[in-house]
C-alpha cells in the first residue's frame, strides 16, 4: 500500500477506530482465558460502503451492523492485527503508544507457562491506560485467581 493511503487509514483509526486487547474467558483454553487482539473501525450505517472499501484495502476481518445505527469493521487475531499495525504505526498519532503495546502482546508465543501467560495478561491491563473503557472487569488479577483456583498456578 502507498504511504498516502496508509497515512489516511491511520488517521481514520486515530479518530474513528479502536485498538483493543482483551482477556476473554474461554473454558476450552489451556489457562481458561484467551488474549484477544482486535482493530475496529466505526461508521454510521449509511456510510457502510466506506467500511467495505476499507476492507478491500486491509483484506481481513468482517463488517456488521449494530443495533444503534452504527456499523463496524472488525479485524481480530494477533497475526492480522500485527500485520496491519506494523503498516500503520509510522502514521499513528493518538493511538501510537497503544499500538506499540498491542504489537508487543501480538508476539505472544504459542507455548508458554502460566506465569508467562500472566505477564501477557499484565500487558493487556496496561492497554487500559490508553483507552476509555469503563466496563473492563477481566484483569490479570482475575486470571491469576482463576489459575490458582484450578491449581494451574501455585499460590
pTM here is 0.94
Phi, psi of 33 (to 5 degrees): -140, 150
What's the pLDDT tens digit per position in 34-56? Answer: 999 999 999 999 999 999 999 99
CATH number at residue 84: 3.10.28.10
Catalytic residue among 11, 15, 17, 32: 15
Q: Could you count the other beta carbons within 10 Å of the beta carbon of residue 105?
A: 19
pLDDT band at 136 (very low <50, low <70, confident <90, very high): confident
pLDDT at site 1: 80
Angle at 35 between CA 75 and CA 145, to 5 degrees: 155
143 falls within a domain: yes
Q: Is the pLDDT of residue 155 over 70?
A: no
pLDDT at site 62: 98
Q: What percent of the chain is predicted at pLDDT more than 90?
A: 92
* Contacting residues for 84 by C-beta, under 8 A, at least 6 apart: 39, 58, 60, 75
β-sheet bridge partners, residue 33: 25
Domains contained in the chain, number: 1
Range of the domain at 50: 3-149
Catalytic residue among 11, 16, 28, 125: 16
155 falls within a domain: no
Span 15-42, average pLDDT: 96
What's the pLDDT tens digit per position in 67-123? Answer: 999 999 999 999 999 999 999 999 999 999 999 999 999 999 989 999 999 999 999
To the query of whether residue 16 is one of the catalytic residues in this protein, the response is yes
Give CA–CA dist 47/67, Å, rounded: 15
154 falls within a domain: no
61 falls within a domain: yes
pLDDT at site 133: 76
123 falls within a domain: yes
Amino acid at each position: 500500500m502507498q504511504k498516502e493511503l496508509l497515512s489516511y487509514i491511520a488517521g481514520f483509526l486515530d479518530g474513528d477506530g479502536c485498538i483493543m486487547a482483551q482477556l476473554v474467558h474461554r473454558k476450552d483454553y489451556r489457562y481458561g482465558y484467551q488474549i484477544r487482539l482486535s482493530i475496529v473501525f466505526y461508521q454510521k450505517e449509511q456510510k457502510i460502503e466506506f467500511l467495505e472499501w476499507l476492507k478491500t484495502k486491509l483484506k481481513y476481518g468482517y463488517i456488521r451492523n449494530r443495533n444503534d445505527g452504527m456499523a463496524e469493521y472488525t479485524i481480530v487475531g494477533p497475526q492480522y492485527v500485527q500485520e496491519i499495525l506494523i503498516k500503520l504505526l509510522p502514521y499513528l498519532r493518538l493511538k501510537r503508544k497503544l499500538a506499540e503495546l498491542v504489537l508487543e502482546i501480538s508476539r505472544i508465543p504459542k507455548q508458554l507457562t502460566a506465569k508467562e501467560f500472566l505477564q501477557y495478561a499484565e500487558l493487556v491491563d496496561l492497554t487500559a491506560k490508553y483507552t476509555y473503557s469503563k466496563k473492563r472487569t477481566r484483569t490479570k488479577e482475575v486470571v491469576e485467581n482463576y489459575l490458582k483456583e484450578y491449581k494451574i498456578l501455585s499460590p
